[in-house]
A and B are shown apart, each in its own frame.
Chain A
Amino acid sequence: DGGITQSPKYLFRKEGQNVTLSCEQNLNHDAMYWYRQDPGQGLRLIYYSQIVNDFQKGDIAEGYSVSREKKESFPLTVTSAQKNPTAFYLCASTPGQGAYEQYFGPGTRLTVT
């Protein structure tokens, strides 16, 4: 099956710990994205990557880091510097090169206590 996978579905961490969320796609898409979703709010862009080894900050990049070493993978690290890390995190991808359709993974719910 083609698609975007995120793991784990639920993640619990203690305050002060870094945590890495996984995102993998087998759609051969060039561009990948990370969004954060809080209750009652829209999706806010954290980071995006148009090609391997390149990525740009979105609107709320502070306290997060990413890497894009492979086309299929775009992991997100939530660092201890992120003041309110508890949220629902969504990974997405688009084909790139002028093709706009964006597809989402199932999400990871991160709870930090």
Chain B
Amino acid sequence: GENVEQHPSTLSVQEGDSAVIKCTYSDSASNYFPWYKQELGKGPQLIIDIRSNVGEKKDQRIAVTLNKTAKHFSLHITETQPEDSAVYFCAASIPNTGNQFYFGTGTSLTVIP
């Protein structure tokens, strides 16, 4: 099956700086890559996603890039704010597998005011 690795596991940045979280996947058949933000004690919230026919997608301060050849994708958060502090998960999905999602192990982001 698919294997998704995520780095780093923890990340601290100063408010206003950028944060980058990286994920790699193993199965070239994966074609959908969402990112989730999870606050303590809550369910993950979908914040941005990208499909394999697109190289980059941006939504205000967050962006995701995908390199299909290298099988890696990254989340970029610019102008970080304290409310960005949370755990972020990447995932990959392979079509025709019942919409199964394979998750990374998460990155705990702390934005220092």
Contact = CB atoms under 8 A, between A and B. Distances in A.
A41 to B, nearest CB: 6
A56 B98 contact: yes
A58 B97 CA distance: 11
Contact of B49 (A44, A100, A105): A100
Contacts of A92: 43
A75 interface: no
14 contacts: A31-B98, A40-B9, A41-B106, A42-B106, A50-B98, A50-B99, A56-B98, A59-B1, A90-B44, A100-B93, A102-B34, A102-B91, A106-B42, A106-B43
Interface residues on B, range: 20 to 34
A42 B89 contact: yes
B26 to A, nearest CB: 14
A100 B45 CA distance: 14
Contacts of A56: 98
A53 B103 CA distance: 26
A43 B101 CA distance: 9
Nearest to B98: A50
B89 A43 contact: yes
A45 B46 contact: no
Contact of A96 (B6, B9, B99, B103): B99
B81 interface: no
B42 A101 contact: no
A103 B89 contact: no
